[in-house]
Structure 1
Amino acid sequence: MATRAPNGSPQVVLITGASSGIGKACALHLVSRGFRVYGTSRRARPADAPAGVEMLEMDVTSDDDVARGVAQVLAAESRIDVLVNNAGYGIAGAVEDTTVEEARAQFETNVFGPLRLCRAVLPHMRARRAGLVVNVSSIAGLVPVPFQAFYSASKAALESMSEALRMEVRPFGVRVALLEPGDFRTGFTASRVRTVASTQQSPYYERGERALAVMERDEQGAEPPEAIARELERIIADPSPRLRHPVGKALQRAAPTLRQLLPSGLYERLMMQTYEILS
Structure 2
Amino acid sequence: MENKTVLITGGSSGIGKAIGTYLVAKGYTVYGTTRSLNKYPDFHTFPLLEMDVRDPASVEKAITQLLKKEHRLDVLINNAGVGITGPIEETPAKEILAAFDTNFNGPLHVIKSVLPQMRGQKAGLIINITSIAGYMGLPYRGIYSATKGALEIATEALRMETKDFGIAITNLAPGDFATNIAAGRYHTPLLDASPYRKSYGSVLQQIDEHVDRGEDPILVAKMVLKIIKTEHPKVHYKVGTFTQKFSLILKKALPDKVFEKMLLKHYKL
TM-score normalized with structure 1 length: 0.93
**259, 263, 269: which is aligned to 2:255?**
263
Q: Deviations over 1:11-63 (max 9, x none)?
A: 00000001111000001000010000010011123346251x11011111111
Asked whether the 8 Å contact 1:89–1:188 carries over to 2, the reply is yes
Q: CA deviation at 1:128?
A: 1.1
Q: CA deviation at 1:102?
A: 1.3
In the other structure, the counterpart of 1:201 is 193
Superposition map of 1:234-245 within 5 A = 234-245=226-237
Query: What are the residue-to-residue correspondences of 1:59-74 with 2, within 5 Å?
Result: 59-74=52-67
Q: Which amino acid aligns with 1:240?
A: H
Q: Aligned equivalents of 1:184 and 1:96: distance in 2?
A: 28
1:49 corresponds in structure 2 to 43
**Over aligned residues, Cα RMSD in angstroms?**
1.2
CA offsets, 1:196-227, max 9 Å, x none? 5x422221111011111111111111222000
- The residue that corresponds to 1:173 in the other structure is 166
User: 1:266 Cα shift?
Assistant: 1.8
Alpha-carbon shift at residue 99 of structure 1 (Å): 2.3
Moved over 6 A (4+): none
Deviations 1:212-266 (A, max 9, x none): 1111111111222000000000100111011111000011112122112112222
Match of 2:209 in 1: 217
CA contact (8 A) 1:143 1:255 kept: no
CA separation in 2, counterparts of 1:166 and 1:239?
A: 14
Aligned residue runs from structure 1 range 224-235, under 5 A:
224-235=216-227
Q: CA deviation at 1:100?
A: 2.0
CA distance in 2, matches of 1:192, 1:199: 18
Residues 96, 118 of structure 1: alpha-carbon distance in 2 compared, 3 angstrom cutoff: same
Q: Tell me how many residue pairs correspond in the alignment.
A: 268
TM-score normalised by the chain length of structure 2: 0.97
Matching residue of 2:131: 138
Please tell me whether the aligned partners of residues 19 and 48 of structure 1 are also in contact (alpha carbons under 8 angstroms): no
Query: What are the Cα deviations for residues 172-201 of structure 1, in whole angstroms up to 9, with x where unaligned?
Result: 1000111100011001122221125x4222
Give 5+ residue unaligned stretches, structure 1. 5-9
Question: Which runs of 5 or more residues in structure 2 are unaligned?
Answer: none
SS of 1:112's equivalent? helix
After TM superposition, the structure 1 = structure 2 runs for residues 1-279 of structure 1, keeping only pairs within 5 Å, are 3-4=1-2, 10-44=3-37, 45-47=39-41, 49=43, 51=45, 53-196=46-189, 198-277=190-269
Distance in 2 (alpha carbons) for counterparts of 1:235 and 1:214: 31
Q: Secondary structure at the match of 1:230?
A: helix
